[in-house]
């Protein structure tokens, strides 16, 4: 049976993947978080791979505190870069396919049309730089890799923009939300389904030694584009919450880390390669979970 290892299993994406495993009963899954597998510990990673011998490793483990990373760059690079490197090295030794989750923050946001996979990364934050370094380590070490850049991830789990907006609406009658940063929300359940489609397609074509065509970098988010203000408005509309929502510029809400002003991702390559359709961002779904 095909073995799938998922790191960062207590995060948004890891928990969404766990939720849909019953749709893919032909695979064996091992979900681990930092308490069981610290990807920053090279020896621990090697030992874990020696014992479990996964066919696929989905790396959802990441340091995602974007603003905190500006003052804690060592930790951000340890997890996002060195952790990715450790996984790539163990994947190489065990002939494991690494599916690694990266971010739109590898771009500087100066474009005005969607970023594709051949656009030159130029991160403007420590978080973005650490994620880009992780990508580069993987590319240098391991041929059998699939890097998926995503953006504005939300789910019923953990901390994210949707949950923050709903929480703030419980105590506030007025909210100011940035309207000049443009990107695309990503439903973590949609991304989880996309990742599983990658594995299904890989398994199908590997029998004919054709899976090599899949390796490389892809972009995945929901379709369309919006501002954070548009996103918030949609959240309140579908939840029938009446609140005074006011658009403000980025300059009105300064943060330690710079954000790309435009980070819409072009998903054409992913959709064509894996024969996968992607929902528009405004088909917002949010299941109530802890």
32 to 35, 128, 146, 189, 268: CA distances (angstroms): 8, 24, 20, 19, 31
Q: How many helices (H) and strands (E) does the chain have?
A: 9, 12
Q: Which long-range contacts (CB under 8 A, 24 or more apart) does 239-247 make?
A: 239/166, 241/166, 241/169, 243/169, 243/172, 243/173, 243/174, 243/175, 244/173, 244/174, 244/175, 245/175, 245/177, 246/174, 246/175, 246/176, 246/177, 247/176, 247/177, 247/178, 247/179
Pairing relation of β-strands 186-187 and 56-59? Answer: unpaired
Q: Is 51 left (phi over 0), alpha (psi -120 to 50) or beta?
A: alpha
C-beta neighbour count of 186 within 10 angstroms: 26
Pairing relation of β-strands 226-227 and 182-183? Answer: antiparallel
CA distance 226 to 232: 10
> End-to-end CA distance of the chain, in Å?
32
DSSP letters for 121-165: P---SHHHHHHHHHHHHHHHH-SSEEEEEE-SEE-SSSS-HHHHH
**Enzyme catalytic residues:** 127
């Amino acid at each position: 049976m095909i073995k799938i290892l998922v790191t960062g299993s207590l995060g948004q994406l890891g928990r969404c993947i766990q939720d849909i495993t019953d749709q893919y009963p032909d695979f064996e899954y091992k979900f681990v978080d930092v308490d069981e597998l610290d990807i920053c510990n090279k020896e621990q990673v090697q030992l874990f791979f020696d014992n479990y011998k996964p066919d696929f490793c989905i790396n959802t483990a990441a340091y995602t505190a974007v603003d905190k990373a500006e003052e804690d760059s060592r930790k951000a690079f340890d997890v996002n870069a060195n952790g990715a490197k450790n996984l790539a090295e163990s994947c190489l030794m065990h002939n494991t396919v690494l599916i690694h989750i990266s971010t739109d923050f590898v771009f500087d946001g100066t474009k005005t049309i969607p970023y594709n996979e051949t656009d030159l990364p130029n991160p403007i934050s420590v978080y973005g730089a650490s994620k880009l370094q992780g990508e580069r380590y993987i590319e240098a070490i391991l041929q059998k890799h699939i890097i998926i850049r995503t953006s504005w991830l939300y789910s019923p789990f953990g901390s994210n923009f949707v949950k923050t907006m709903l929480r703030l609406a419980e105590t506030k009658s007025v909210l100011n939300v940035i309207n000049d940063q443009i990107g695309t929300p990503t439903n973590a359940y949609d991304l989880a389904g996309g990742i599983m489609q990658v594995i299904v397609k890989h398994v199908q074509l590997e029998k004919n030694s054709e899976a090599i065509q899949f390796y490389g970098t892809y972009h995945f988010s929901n379709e369309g584009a919006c501002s954070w203000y548009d996103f918030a408005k949609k959240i309140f509309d579908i939840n029938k919450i009446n609140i005074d929502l006011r658009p403000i510029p980025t300059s009105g809400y300064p943060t330690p880390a710079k954000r790309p002003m435009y980070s819409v991702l072009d998903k054409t390559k992913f959709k064509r390669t894996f024969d996968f359709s992607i929902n528009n961002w405004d088909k917002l779904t949010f299941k109530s979970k802890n």
